[in-house]
Structure 1
């Protein structure tokens, strides 16, 4: 019985580790999606880039990267980041979420700002 346990234990631990890594990635993806949706809604209401950046940071964390773009009357917020925590190094993927919202003002224009800051927001009047 001890030999069977010694053989089965690494396999059980591997499956448990994969489940934990998968659930951490799923939770991170949900946080990114919620941050993108909330940022797009705030942007459509006419919030400034600093407010949208604060919303994204509060919902998805300080290590995310976000960009804002406009296509006609539609505004988009794209948020990307990696899995944090102890299982983060096990998952080298960059997760991304994008949300679109229709601008509530007819003359709103948004342009992505260049740079390597964790939040790259820019807004032109």
Structure 2
């Protein structure tokens, strides 16, 4: 009979432990989901930042080639993230293009993004 008594105690302990595993999993899954979503949002915000820098470069190149300002802004807009604001300025021999955008986050959270590029105007070279 000792075997049945020992087996009964082991079965009871296993049943109690099984309940803890379920509770731990119920707490861990939402936390892991939150971190996965935060990581995904961070990657998307980083990609939008890279787009801002690339758009500023494209606009500065176009403006440096003496393209009309509207063409330079269009070049920047084609590479910029959606909803970006683009400014173009001529400062002496230099052309400066700034691209500003916001990465939407969860709820009201947003992160400001920007990129800036400066190029020497080709009409001043040589």
* Among 47, 54, 65, the residue aligned to 1:34: 54
Query: Shift in Å at residue 62 of structure 1?
Result: 4.5
Residue equivalent to 2:32:
12
Q: Tell me the alpha carbon deviations over residues 81-109 of structure 1, each in whole angstroms, 9 at most, x when there is no partner.
A: 112xxxx2324122010001011113xxx
Larger radius of gyration: 2
Unaligned runs of 5+ in 2: 1-20
* Among 54, 68, 83, the residue aligned to 1:48: 68
Q: TM-score, normalised by structure 1?
A: 0.76
Unaligned runs of 5+ in 1: 107-125
Question: RMSD of the TM alignment (CA)?
Answer: 1.3
Stretches of 4+ aligned residues off by more than 4 angstroms? none
* Among 45, 64, 78, the residue aligned to 1:58: 78
How many correspondences in the alignment? 102
- More relative contact order in 1 or in 2 (CA 8 Å, sep 6+)? 1
Residue equivalent to 1:118:
none
Matching of residues 1-125 of structure 1 within 5 Å: 1-83=21-103, 88-90=104-106, 91-106=109-124
